[in-house]
């Protein structure tokens, strides 16, 4: 099977960034993809003007692609921030202000997965208090996701690149998933299994798949080292995707890698064009 039996989407917050945001959906479509995902595009505000939301919706619809994943507001990404929902004060307030805005936008384009980055530890803040705040805000997010028929995703990052982010192992993220589901009773919180981040943490990705495929709601890939396209590093990505498929995962696989010093459209040579279209 390998790469020819998967449902791939392109993350437009890390690929095609040489283009303005509103041109990226069409560029992904021109490269043969039928599905895309995004980090929250407006890093300065959780509540952009309606005109900006409508313009992005139109760009997605005009391109004929499907938005399959969207982050809630997470601060400055790329940049030093790794989420807002567990950060006391203004950032947590901004996350809450964004919850319904993001959910309503997702609903308007048929997006059914919303990713909530946990947020960094903050100097001087009690980690237990941050975790309590996180659960409160994740509960709000899960309910907003449920309102539109969506999944809430909880993601592991990696310690070398995100040393202040507390969820740097698959079990840590799964623990939060279970807590959110217990708090809401909705069962719509799932694990975002990012192969690159798990490998950067030194985890056995195959074992993580074996243990948590049934709790996985979305997958993202990049090769390691370098966070480049498949084949630029040493990860057996095709084999890992086969393992996921055999374990029962049939969801989307987000391409969340760096194109390097070439145009993004040239970074998909590892994937036959006929395998790119959403199925």
Active-site positions read 155, 256
DSSP state of 46: S
Contact 36, 12 (CB under 8 A): yes
- b/e 127-157 (16+ beta carbons within 10 angstroms → b): eeebbebbbebbbbbbbbbbebebbbbbbbb
Task: List the one residue out of 236, 216, 242, 209 whose CA is nearest residue 224.
Answer: 236
Cα 177 to chain centroid distance, Å, stands at 15
Asked if residue 7 lies in contact with residue 112, where contact means CB atoms within 8 angstroms, the answer is: no
- Whole-number Cα distances in Å, 3 to 11, 36, 131, 210, 269: 17, 17, 38, 19, 12
> Is the CB of residue 253 less than 8 Å from the CB of residue 223?
no
Q: Find the helix or strand (DSSP H, E) in which 20 lies.
A: none
């Amino acid at each position: 099977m390998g790469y020819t039996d998967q449902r791939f989407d392109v993350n437009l917050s890390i690929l095609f960034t040489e283009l303005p945001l509103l041109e990226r959906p069409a560029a992904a479509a021109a490269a043969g993809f039928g599905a895309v995902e995004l980090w929250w595009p407006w890093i300065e505000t959780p509540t952009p003007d309606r005109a900006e939301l409508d313009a992005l919706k139109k760009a997605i619809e005009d391109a004929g692609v499907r938005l399959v994943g969207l982050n809630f507001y997470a601060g400055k990404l790329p940049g030093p921030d790794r989420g807002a929902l567990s950060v006391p004060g203004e950032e947590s307030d901004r996350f809450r202000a964004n919850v319904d805005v993001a959910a309503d936008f997702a609903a308007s384009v048929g997006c059914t997965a919303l990713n909530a980055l946990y947020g960094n530890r903050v100097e001087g803040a009690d980690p237990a208090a941050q975790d309590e705040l996180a659960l409160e805000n994740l509960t709000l997010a899960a309910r907003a996701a449920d309102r539109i028929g969506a999944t809430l995703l909880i993601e592991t990052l990696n310690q070398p690149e995100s040393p202040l982010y507390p969820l740097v192992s698959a079990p840590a993220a799964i623990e939060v998933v279970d807590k959110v589901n217990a708090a809401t009773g909705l069962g719509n919180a799932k694990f975002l299994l990012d192969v690159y981040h798990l490998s950067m943490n030194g985890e056995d990705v195959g074992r993580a798949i074996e243990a948590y495929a049934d709790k996985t709601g979305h997958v993202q890939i990049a090769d390691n080292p370098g966070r480049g396209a498949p084949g630029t590093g040493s990860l057996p990505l095709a084999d890992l995707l086969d393992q996921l498929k055999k374990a029962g995962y049939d969801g989307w696989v987000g391409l969340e890698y760096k194109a390097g010093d070439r145009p993004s459209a040239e970074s998909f040579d590892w994937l036959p064009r006929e395998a790119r279209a959403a199925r």
